[in-house]
Amino acid sequence: MAEGDGAPSPEVLRKSTAIRFRELLADLGPTFIKMGQVLSTRADLLPKAYIDELGRLQDSAPPIPLEAVRAQIQRALGVPWDEAFAAIDEQPLASASIAQVHRGRTRTGDDVAIKVQRPDIRSRIDTDLDLLYYLAKALEAVVEEVGVYTPSGIVEEFDRAIHEELDFENEARNLRAFAEANRERPYLVVPKVYDDLSGRTVLTMQFVEGTKITEIGDAQYDRKELAKLVVQEAFHQLFEDGLFHADPHPGNLVVLPDKRIALLDFGLIGRLTPAMQQTLVMLTLAVALGDPDTVARILYRVGIPDTRTNLGAFRSDIEAVLKRYMGRRLEEIDAGSLLRDLLDLAVRYRIRIPREYALLSRASVATEGIIRQLDPKMDIAATVLPYVREILFGRLSPGSLQGGLMRGVLRLQELAQDVPAQLSQILMDLEGGKFLVNVQSRQLDELTDAVRRLAVVGLAGMLGAALVVGAFFSLSRQPWSFHGVPILGVVAVALAAMLFGAVGTWYFVVLRLRKIELSKWFRRPAAGRQ
């Protein structure tokens, strides 16, 4: 509460607004629920209160009848359901807005999980997406921060994400890719895909039965050992495979009776290029060592600055964030959020972070929550640094063809060969008068717009004056009249009045309308930035 007057604090108001926003999306239906879930992965776009609330969106729906499930299976596979499966349980294991999951058994006796897409869900989502695109265009017309918060870009990203989720063949490819990447890791289980029983709207997977990783008992399992396995797998995914599970919440990690860990639900994954992996290695090492200069440069390099960034101030704010986390155990750190705080800083300095890093932020926060429950006293820095050192030394190894050192030597050799030729080309262009320099300036752009507006106003004034003069000539001669009223004169005066009115409204009203600055609503109060 606020001091003295009993009014709610800005943090309380922001939280209540986020709750109402989540409830609104839930009431609007499956497309908007999925939209909220996508936004919950973008900690670089929304404040923490909104991210936390959207992360609680429950994607559930009334179950569809078993007959509709069987009909969908027949449409997808091209054969009657009883020729593909020996049995399908009537009660679903889960019923969401896009798909429903049933336990079944194949003709060969294997227990499987059958994911079936709801009938006609694709057409409904496409209709809702058309509305979202219209809303995005309207927002861009009235919201100031379209350089950082791009509504159309967010809707386009959501469009791609939800159509990937609607295509179960894409999830099957993700499952196969994860299975291939983890085939040498006996502690991890990835469900097998039954390709002959799967299609775009039906996905048949190996049935995995176990206990949610956060609900295991201390008597049966070593929680500290499981926490180390979670950290180990996360680093393998990020720095070796370049393929990571973007939604590792506790429901998607189960522990089997033989103490192996199984990953479920591969609808949302992230992919890292070798360059991204290298950047992530350096960023992780810089954060672990508390080096704000390197962290600032890396974030600036991987992001897309919307304006010129004050790197000195950016570096100082990063240093303040790092000081809050260094030397502390996981149980002493507030929920998840070194990486989220760094993303908040990027937003404050108008640096747009690529989607993969935003997904990584969500996955990191979810993984941290799991580790916190398994082993809250784990020293993250001490656990992480050996992995980072091993990966860093491996990449810098001269004997490795994939090593960063070897690539660096090759790049230096290419640079040494290219620079003299490039300098010679520049000197020849200067001597021949062909050297061109492109200059971009916000002030020059504003001056150009002002000149264009002046030209429009001048042309409209000339046309209006010509119409007025013509009206006077018509009034004096009256060649065509109706009941003594000169028609041409009246038309000319009316056109002149309309022209002056339109130009006056455009110049004095439209050009002076200012867009809404959403950052004023989302900005944290000064007292909250401790």
**Comparing C-alpha atoms, which of 292, 287, 268, 73 is closest to residue 166?**
268
Please list, in sequence order, all residues whose beta carbon lies within 8 angstroms of the beta carbon of residue 29, skipping any fewer than 6 positions away: 97, 124, 128
Tell me the three state secondary structure of residue 25.
helix
Of the CA atoms within 13 Å of residue 106, those in its CB half-sphere come to 17
Tell me the three state secondary structure of residue 385.
helix
103 pairs with which residues across the strands? 113
On whether residue 124 sits in a domain, the answer given is yes
Cα torsion angle, 466, 472, 478, 484, sign: positive
On whether residue 88 sits in a domain, the answer given is yes
Looking at residue 395, its amino acid is R
Are 258 and 135 in the same domain? no
On whether residue 271 sits in a domain, the answer given is yes
Are 80 and 39 in the same domain? no
143 pairs with which residues across the strands? 516
Are 150 and 98 in the same domain? yes
Cα three-residue angle 307-312-316, rounded to 5 degrees = 115
Question: Length of the chain in residues, anyone?
Answer: 530
**Comparing C-alpha atoms, which of 183, 164, 184 is closest to residue 174?**
164
Backbone angles phi, psi at 261, to 5 degrees: -105, 135
Are 387 and 268 in the same domain? yes
pLDDT of 205 reads: 94
Q: Where are the alpha helices (DSSP H) in 349-403?
A: 355-374, 380-396
Tell me the three state secondary structure of residue 273.
coil
**Comparing C-alpha atoms, which of 244, 266, 259, 268 is closest to residue 367?**
244
Are 229 and 368 in the same domain? yes
pLDDT of 375 reads: 81
Are 111 and 36 in the same domain? no
Are 142 and 47 in the same domain? no
pLDDT of 26 reads: 81
pLDDT of 85 reads: 94
pLDDT of 196 reads: 92
On whether residue 324 sits in a domain, the answer given is yes
Are 156 and 134 in the same domain? yes
Are 293 and 373 in the same domain? yes
On whether residue 300 sits in a domain, the answer given is yes
Are 191 and 288 in the same domain? no
Q: Which two tokens stand for residue 111?
A: 């227990």
**Comparing C-alpha atoms, which of 393, 414, 284 is closest to residue 339?**
284
**Comparing C-alpha atoms, which of 113, 86, 85, 96 is closest to residue 191?**
113
pLDDT of 190 reads: 92
pLDDT of 525 reads: 45
Are 329 and 280 in the same domain? yes
116 pairs with which residues across the strands? 100, 202
pLDDT of 3 reads: 46
Q: Cα(251)–Cα(494) distance, rounded to whole angstroms?
A: 70
Please list, in sequence order, all residues whose beta carbon lies within 8 angstroms of the beta carbon of residue 40, skipping any fewer than 6 positions away: 51, 54, 55, 57, 362
Contact 259, 211 (CB under 8 A): no
pLDDT of 175 reads: 92
Are 192 and 132 in the same domain? yes
On whether residue 361 sits in a domain, the answer given is yes
Q: Cα(220)–Cα(257) distance, rounded to whole angstroms?
A: 9
pLDDT of 386 reads: 74
pLDDT of 213 reads: 85
Contact 115, 99 (CB under 8 A): yes
Please list, in sequence order, all residues whose beta carbon lies within 8 angstroms of the beta carbon of residue 431, skipping any fewer than 6 positions away: none
- Annotated active-site residue in 44, 241, 247, 341: 247
Assign 3-class secondary structure to 417-464.
Answer: HHHHHHHHHHHHHHHHCCCCCCCCCHHHHHHHHHHHHHHHHHHHHHHH
Please list, in sequence order, all residues whose beta carbon lies within 8 angstroms of the beta carbon of residue 55, skipping any fewer than 6 positions away: 37, 40
Contact 200, 75 (CB under 8 A): no
**Comparing C-alpha atoms, which of 236, 212, 213 is closest to residue 375?**
213
Q: What does the DSSP 8-state code read for residue 354?
A: P
Contact 116, 72 (CB under 8 A): yes
Burial 405-432 (b: 16+ CB within 10 A, else e): ebbeeeeeeeeeeeeeeeeeeeeeeeee
pLDDT of 238 reads: 84
Span between the terminal Cα atoms of the chain, in Å? 18
Per-residue CA distances from 517 to 22, 145, 314, 514, 520 (Å) = 22, 6, 22, 9, 6
Q: Does the annotation count 247 as an active-site position?
A: yes
Cα torsion angle, 154, 94, 226, 191, sign: negative
pLDDT in tens, the chain (530 residues): 444 455 555 555 556 788 888 888 888 877 888 788 777 766 666 777 787 788 777 666 788 899 999 999 999 999 999 999 999 999 998 888 888 999 999 999 999 999 999 888 888 888 888 888 888 887 776 665 555 556 777 788 788 888 888 889 999 999 999 999 998 888 899 999 999 999 999 999 999 988 888 788 777 788 888 888 888 888 888 888 888 888 887 778 888 888 889 998 888 888 888 888 878 777 877 877 778 888 888 888 777 655 666 778 888 888 888 877 765 554 555 545 677 777 777 777 777 777 787 778 778 777 877 887 888 777 666 676 677 677 666 655 555 545 555 555 555 655 666 677 667 767 776 766 666 666 665 566 667 767 766 676 676 667 666 666 665 565 555 565 555 556 666 666 677 677 767 766 666 555 555 555 555 554 444 444 33
On whether residue 48 sits in a domain, the answer given is yes
Helix (H), strand (E) at residue 474: helix 442-477
Q: How many structural domains is the chain composed of?
A: 4
**CATH of residue 191:** 3.30.200.20
Which residues form the domain of 294? Answer: 212-396
On whether residue 427 sits in a domain, the answer given is no
Q: Cα(104)–Cα(66) distance, rounded to whole angstroms?
A: 12
